[in-house]
Amino acid sequence: MTLGLLLCSITGRGVPFPNEDVLKLCGKSRGKLLPVVTVEPDARRVSDAVQLTKENDDLVRAFKIMLGYGETRADDPVFDPMFDYAESADLPVMFHTGDIAYAKGSLENSHPMVLDTVANRHAGLKIVACHFGNPWIEDVAELIYKHPNVYADISGLMVGGSKYIGQYTDWLAERLSRAIFFAGGADKVIFGSDYPVTHPSKAISLVARLEIDAGDRKRILSENARKVFHL
């Protein structure tokens, strides 16, 4: 891999790694990593995230909202200033959707269908449903089919090492393939690993198992990300 996005993770204290530190790490990568700014559901922090992005508009490639790790929904008005700026600057907003790493998280708030309202209200905003909403993969298939501005990535799907990992991988590849069939192609599907949650090699092997043609495989692995994130 020659280029990638760096997103902050949730620390052991349940808060995101500071965006300023993400920018510093990207600065040390010699152009191989580009930052994504994480936005927390607080008016001041939303304002700070937008300001930080404006100050680094030559580097920042997207915003990220960690749905499910708090009580705030994707369509909460607190995010509207960021949505407005992102839409005007053609910056995607990535949303954690689906499974949550903490038992106390809210699956109701991380369900991908919460993005339908956001997409309806902000038709010009690029929206990325991270993790393909797993396990609600078919719901995300409908979202990327319905909305021209909604995309999905396949990051963080190859997690853990249960005794059924082989069967799970088969199930996952089949579900993703069917989702792509439903959407009419892989034009809206973006590669991702969510490293260190999933090693890039495992994510690449998952793409290799999808029942799609070579053109769609290339779109997933590079072309779609380049288009959406202006890489």
Q: What is the 3-state secondary structure (H, E, C) of 144-180?
A: HHHCCCEEEECCCCCCCCCCCHHHHHHHHHHHHHHHH
**Per-position pLDDT tens, the chain of length 231:** 688 999 876 654 556 678 999 999 999 999 999 999 999 999 999 999 999 999 999 999 999 999 998 889 999 999 999 999 999 999 999 999 999 888 888 999 999 999 999 999 999 999 999 999 999 999 999 999 999 999 999 999 987 778 898 999 999 999 999 999 999 999 999 999 988 788 889 999 999 999 999 999 999 999 999 999 999
Tell me how far apart the alpha carbons of residues 192 and 204 are, in angstroms, rounded to a whole number. Answer: 9
Q: How many separate helices (H) and strands (E) can be counted in the chain?
A: 10, 7
Q: How many domains in the chain?
A: 1
Could you list the beta-strand ranges (E) of 32-176.
Answer: 33-38, 62-65, 93-96, 127-130, 150-153
Q: What's the pLDDT score for residue 196?
A: 78
153-154-156 Cα angle (round to 5): 115
What contacts 104, CB < 8 A, 6 or more positions away? none
CATH number for the domain spanning 178: value is 3.20.20.140
pLDDT at 195 (0 to 100): 85
Q: Which two structure tokens, joined as six digits, stand for 169?
A: 């991988």
State the pTM of this model: 0.94
Domain assignment of residue 166, given as a range: 4-229
- In angstroms, the CA 94 to CA 126 distance is 8
CA distance 59 to 157: 27
